[in-house]
Structure formats: C-alpha cells, structure tokens
A and B are shown apart, each in its own frame.
Chain A
Amino acid sequence: MSTVDPTDLSIDTVPTGLAAPKAGPSALHAADAAHKRLSRPWASLSAVILAVLWTLPTFGLLVSSFRPEQDINTTGWWTVLSNPVFTLDNYKAVLGSDSSSSLAPFIVNSIVITVPAVIIPILIASLAAYAFAWMNFRGKNLLFIGVFALQVVPIQVTLIPLLSLYVKAGIAGSFWSVWISHTMFALPLAVFLLHNFMREIPGELVEAARVDGAGHVTIFFRLMLPILKPALAAFGIYQFLWVWNDLLVALTFAGSSNEVAPMTVALFNLTGQRGNQWFLLTAGAFVSILVPLIVFLSLQRYFVRGLLAGSVKG
C-alpha cells in the first residue's frame, strides 16, 4: 500500500480505462503537499523555462513556414518581430500541382496507406482476441502467450525475408506490401490489448446471449464490437499514429517508388538533398504534423491509455 497503485501502469490494465489517477476525491495528494513546501517561485520558473524550451522549436518551424523562401534562408525566424513579412507561398508550393515541389501525391499516399493499415489489423485482431477471451480450444493459453511474446520482435529482423516474399508474390513496391506489413506488425499488440478489454466484459452477458441461442458470430458482432468501441478507438488511434509517422516500413517496402511513398519518406528525401529546401521542409513538415496533431488533441484520452501498452512495439 505504500506504493503507487500499480494497476495504473500495468500493461494489462492501462487500456481498460483504469489509467486515471486513483487518489481519493477529497484527499490532498502527495505532490500537492510536496510542492506547497517547494518554494513556489522556483517551481513556477522552472516550469515556464521547460515549457518554453519544449515549445520553441515547433513554434520556430511554424513561423518559418509562413515566411518567404528568401527570408527563411537569410534571416532567423525571430526577426519577424521587427520585420513581419508573411506569405502562403510555401503551402501553395507544397499542396499545389507543380510536380517539382508538390507533396500532395505523398499526402494522398499517406492516407491510402494508413486507412486500411488501421482498419484491417483491428478487425483481424478482435476476432482472435474474442476467441482467446471467450472460447475454449486446445493450446489456447500457449498460443496466447506466443502471440503476446511476439511483441518483442523488432521489425528489423523481419524486413529482408518479407521483402523477398513480396518480390516472389509480385507485390513488392505496391500498397499491398505496405498494408500487409503494417497488419502483421500490429497483430501481437492488438490481440493482447483487445483480449484484455474483452475479459473485462461480464461473463453473464456472454452466457445470457449463449443461452438465448446466439452463436459466436452473433455475439461477436452484436455484443462485443459495440461494447468495445472505446477500446477499438484507443488501439485505432495508436495504430494510426504509428502508421502515419512510420519511416522504416515505408522506406523498406515503398521507398523506391514515388507512386506509393508516404509523406514521411518524401520529407526524409527532402532533408537528404544538398542545401536544405527549408521553404518546402517547413511547410511540408507542418502539413504532415497537422493530421496526427488534430487526432491527438481531440482524442488525447484514448491515446494516453494505449501509450504505455504499446511502447514495446517496433
């Protein structure tokens, strides 16, 4: 009891919504008391310094993305204070149709890659999770532990053999190879998380449905999926951010073709060019950051829950 309630952190329970702090509602919690004794000005000062340090880099990029190309390359972004000149040209270049600077095709690729790479593993994993949680079959526990343990496999170990499989199957360098890879890499974590969610559902509910003559398929669609919506959302957001922000998988399976390569690869290629094209990089980086940022800000609660549980993946 002298320890933090560990259920707040365990991989088993974080995603089930128990991650919220458990301190009594009226209780003054520890840190409150601790920092009341901390000399307040120093605490505030260090908080402000850290907050500024952490925000300034992103802010600088944002400001720069609205400055004319010439200005970005010759003066620092902080000079806008004395010389405020702004333009939307960088965003026009990035989102426009001029093929030499436009990143629009890569944004489309990112979307085309991400949507199936989020939906498909969720459905496949929830089927398996249902079986592990509510069905009996031989070797169940062993199989479940096996799937769970596969989370430790770094994807580096799988890349080359997978690539040669894709070449043999004739889908190398296509969206298919990227979708399938992300699906396979997502499964161990997804099965594990969704299984834990499903175990939380009261057994009487499932029993009652069985007594009423419902089969497993009916129970899965009519009972499990609706109840599991928050859980599916939590994993969905996690997987979305993972796929949208991924570089390694995209570089390996889609990197050689602009037809398939997502934003991360396009931005990566831009940074590799001599004489960084900062006007494209700043605006492009912001476009790519914007999507996950919106998702993250609107669904932060779910994201934090999935965070720790998913930290081993990759």
Chain B
Amino acid sequence: MNYADKLGLMVASLVLFAAVIGAVLLVVSFVERRGTKRVAWYFVGPTVLLVLVGLIYPALRTIWTSFQDANGTKFVGIDNYTTIFTSSDDLIVLRNTVLWVLVAPVVATLVGLVYALVVDGARGEAFAKALIFLPMAISFVGASIIWKFMYEYRFYDPSVQNNPAQIGLVNQVIVWLGGTPQQFLINSPWNNLFLIVVMIWIQAGFAMTILSAAIKAIPSDMVEAARLDGVSTWGMFRFITVPSIRPTLVVVLTTIAIGCLKVFDIVRTMTGGNYGTSVVANEFFDQSFSAGNVGLGAALAVLLFVLVIPIVVYNVRTLRKAEQR
C-alpha cells in the first residue's frame, strides 16, 4: 500500500465507524419516542461488547491456558507456576522484577520530591519543572535509545596508549576521571540498575508534578505556626511536609511500582532481556512469541495480573481514606 491508500483506509475506517454509531443512534431516537427503558443499552452496548471480547474473554482464556502445556493442548495443573518459581532462569526474572519494583519508585519519588521542594517558589519554576517533566512525553523506546547512547561502549585496553574515543557520555566521564570504561548493559547483575535508571529518568517528572501540587496545598497557617515555634528546616520537612503529603507519596510510589511491574519496552529495546536483565513482562513475550511455550507465557501474564491487583487495591484504598478525612 502506498501512503495515499493507507490514509484512505484510515479515513474509510472512521467513516465506517461513524456510520455504525450513526445507525445505532438513529435506532435509539426511534425507540426512544415509544418511551421504552431499553435505550440505555444502546449507549453502553458497544462498550460492553468490546470489553467482553477484548478483555474478559481473553483474560479467562489466558488463565485457562496457564494450566496447560507448551502447545496449549494438555492440562498440566500448576506446573507452569512451579516452573516460574523454581527454574533458575525464571528466578532471575523474578529477582529483576522485584529489583525494578523496589528501586525505581523509591528513587524516582525521592528525586521528584527533592526537586519539587528546591524549585518551589523559585524564579523560573515552571521552566525548571518542564525540564524534568519532558521525558514523560518521550516513548519508552525513545528514552531507551537516548540512554543506550549514553551507555555506549568502545573497546578500551588500559595498557595501550591510543584507545578509540568513547562516544557514550557516561564512559567518557569515567575516562576523564581516570577509570576504565564499562559495558553497562552487559555486566550482570549491575546492568539491571542501569536499565532502571531509564525508568527513574522518566518517572521522576511524574512524581515531581504530583508532589509539587500536594506541597503547595499544605495549609499555610500550619507552616506559620511551626515557624513561630522555631522548627528547623529538617524538622519542617520531617514533621510538616512529609506527614501532610503522605497519601500523595503513597499514591506516587504505588503508581510507579505498577509501571515497573509491567515494564517491557525499556528492557526489550536496551538488552532484549539478554545478559540476565529479563523481567516478567519481557519473559512473557519471549515465551509466548519466540520460545513457543504458550502455557508458561500465559502463566507469566497471569502472574503479572495477580501481582498488580493488591497494589491497585491499596492505591485506591489510600485515596478513599484520604478523601474521608
């Protein structure tokens, strides 16, 4: 297809869609005049149908497949789940996922909080915030390319005088400081941390934006009172700021944690899950589409599902509790 055909198809799809919705609404306006109560179903019908076909059916199907063998033909009980928690490869995958979920939210939130505090009320606050927030608009693939370039390694032999120049900034800084350049994406297990840096780089802006709004909403009389009592800067932070924004902190932490649990793009783009950097979402993709083990792939997807639920529930409950206060 050439460009015109593709754009034509795009327009055609929109016209078709408009025609379908138009027809449904036309029916509704006829039915409505006869005063029946069924009208609502025409409105929610498309959504219910799509959600049933696109989310509920596939989810049930995947749960069922997770109890089947590699071809999805024979029932094997919880074998796939046993594999996830016993095979040495999958244990590394689980370890990495835990590392992501623990490290990235904490560091990103910390950076976001510090930055929100130091730029608050400063001149050029909006610009300063935009700089940190910008990575949020970049795709994970784009961010991964940016950081792959930062980590780029050129062969280096410390015993030789004329080594090729490093083109990655991180390794160049190491050379300037007199160190030996590293293959950041290959040396396990530390490479996991260097992948997590990309997530921190993206999510710090999110944390900063949300926390900044919370900090600005702290009642000023409380701050004034504390100041009159001679509370120190650290005391102010420890006893006024942090308690005041605690619900917000929890929400930011858990939100980033959910993102980390499902992280796929960064790992896929930077290492493809090689060199001991695979995570659950990446392993799901490998097992399902390359290794051809649909049973194990499904079990990994279900594991993600199961792990996400408690975090989301905790998140929602924190919000509800905060609202009731």
On chain B, which size bracket covers the interface?
35 or more
Interface 9-residue window, one of A44-52, A86-94, A225-233: A44-52
Q: Which of A95-128 contact B (CB under 8 A)?
A: 105, 108-109, 111-112, 115-116, 119-120, 123-125, 127-128
Query: A30 near B: Cβ within 8 Å?
Result: yes
Query: A4 near B: Cβ within 8 Å?
Result: yes
Q: Assuming the A-B contacts A35-B117, A127-B43, A156-B304, are A6 and B216 also in contact, with contact meaning beta carbons closer than 8 angstroms in the complex?
A: no
Query: A167 near B: Cβ within 8 Å?
Result: no
A38's nearest neighbour on chain B, judged by CB, is B233
A39's nearest neighbour on chain B, judged by CB, is B233
Contact of B43 with A271 in the complex, beta carbons under 8 Å: no
Per-residue interface assignment for chain B, residues 41 to 79, with 1 indicating a CB less than 8 Å from any chain A CB and 0 otherwise: 101101110110111111101110100000000000000
Interchain CA distance A160-B63 in the complex, whole Å? 11
Query: B135 near A: Cβ within 8 Å?
Result: yes
Contact of B50 with A183 in the complex, beta carbons under 8 Å: yes
| Number of cross-chain contacts by CB at 8 Å | 423
Interchain CA distance A311-B205 in the complex, whole Å? 14
Contact of A10 with B236 in the complex, beta carbons under 8 Å: no
Contact of A292 with B269 in the complex, beta carbons under 8 Å: no
Of A57, A179, A180, A248, most buried by chain B (CB within 10 Å of CB) is A57
Interchain CA distance A57-B201 in the complex, whole Å? 10
Query: A16 near B: Cβ within 8 Å?
Result: no
Contacts of A143 in B (CB 8 A): 44, 48
Q: Assuming the A-B contacts A161-B58, A289-B139, are A4 and B259 also in contact, with contact meaning beta carbons closer than 8 angstroms in the complex?
A: no
On chain A, which size bracket covers the interface?
35 or more
Query: B160 near A: Cβ within 8 Å?
Result: no
Query: A22 near B: Cβ within 8 Å?
Result: yes
Interface of A is mostly: helix
Contact of B145 with A216 in the complex, beta carbons under 8 Å: no
Contact of A307 with B215 in the complex, beta carbons under 8 Å: no
Contact of A245 with B141 in the complex, beta carbons under 8 Å: yes
Shortest Cβ distance from A136 into chain B, in angstroms? 7
Contact of A112 with B114 in the complex, beta carbons under 8 Å: no
Interchain CA distance A31-B119 in the complex, whole Å? 10
Contacts of B133 in A (CB 8 A): 300
Query: B189 near A: Cβ within 8 Å?
Result: no
Contact of B305 with A157 in the complex, beta carbons under 8 Å: yes
Query: A7 near B: Cβ within 8 Å?
Result: yes
Contact of B50 with A247 in the complex, beta carbons under 8 Å: no
Query: A259 near B: Cβ within 8 Å?
Result: yes
Contact of A76 with B172 in the complex, beta carbons under 8 Å: yes
Of A6, A56, A64, A176, most buried by chain B (CB within 10 Å of CB) is A6
Query: A61 near B: Cβ within 8 Å?
Result: yes
Contact of B13 with A179 in the complex, beta carbons under 8 Å: yes
Contact of B262 with A127 in the complex, beta carbons under 8 Å: no
Partner of B43, one of A64, A131, A244: A131
Contact of B53 with A58 in the complex, beta carbons under 8 Å: no
Shortest Cβ distance from A135 into chain B, in angstroms? 4
Contacts of A292 in B (CB 8 A): 137-139
Interchain CA distance A257-B177 in the complex, whole Å? 46
6 A-B pairs besides A10-B319, A76-B167, A282-B149 with CB distance below 8 A are: A27-B219, A31-B216, A112-B9, A136-B37, A188-B51, A271-B270
13 A-B residue pairs with Cβ-Cβ distance under 8 Å, sorted by A, are A3-B325, A9-B214, A30-B241, A43-B118, A50-B114, A127-B47, A135-B39, A137-B37, A153-B59, A157-B304, A215-B32, A245-B140, A245-B141
